[in-house]
A and B are shown apart, each in its own frame.
Chain A
């Protein structure tokens, strides 16, 4: 996982760079929770650009992080989700709580490239 933190905006970007299954989830959860607890971000974006596979383990993983971020009053969203993975998120109903954003907008975007 690659991590970017934009201090001025309290924005944490977690870029997942592997397939998401039960095996890989444990590591991703640990790292994500650590970054969230260290930064207490206002917003967390999970970047799925490099995720080519996800099973139901990913739903539980995202809901778990959403709960943690919400505990600190922050928001959670997803970007660059491929259609095959979007299908799984849609089925689970979690998109009512967690949005898929088309891209990171404005200043946030400029700062993270």
Chain B
């Protein structure tokens, strides 16, 4: 029964750069139900910002489009799926390499996937050229139970 989730949410929004801030804050607010540490929240916000920014810049190349986020909360983890119906990625392995960017003219550093990978516990990238890209990330939220018990005793 490991894959039974406790709660879920879905978001759909336009591929506008103003929504980068909205998306990471919305996901972080949802994740607080698992009582994450400040560092875990910061990691989630950064990873979401990376994936959403990629949909806007690379997926839709700044044209109008829809970005979807689906979140599931499990007992001690959060799964976040971020997708676009944009251009797609030809070579996923190459795209995931640190410092690889197809948009160096836009001052991109090619660190997005590397950050998602190191800040989250799992990263899966699926993409079909001309159809779109879906990034699925999972983060374990370490239980803070010991701390809570002590706090109650106090």
User: Is A35 part of the binding interface, using a Cβ–Cβ cutoff of 8 Å?
Assistant: no
Taking a contact as CB atoms under 8 Å apart, the answer to whether A91 and B118 are in contact is yes
| B114 / chain A contacts, CB cutoff of 8 Å | 91
Contact B109 A22 (CB under 8 A): no
Which one of B14-22, B63-71, B82-90, B136-144 is at the interface? Answer: B14-22
A22-B111 contact in complex given A55-B49, A56-B50, A88-B46, C-beta closer than 8 Å: no
Total interface residues on B, using CB and 8 Å? 24
Q: Is the interface of B mostly helix, strand, loop or mixed?
A: helix
Provide 9 A-B residue pairs closer than 8 Å at the C-beta atoms, listed in order of the A residue: A21-B17, A22-B56, A55-B46, A56-B111, A57-B108, A59-B111, A60-B107, A61-B107, A63-B107
- What 13 additional pairs, Cβ within 8 angstroms, besides A22-B57, A53-B42, A55-B112? A21-B21, A22-B17, A53-B46, A53-B49, A55-B115, A56-B108, A56-B111, A56-B115, A57-B108, A60-B107, A84-B42, A84-B46, A91-B114
Q: Chain A residues in contact with chain B, CB under 8 A? A: 19, 21-23, 29, 53-57, 59-61, 63-64, 84, 88, 91-92
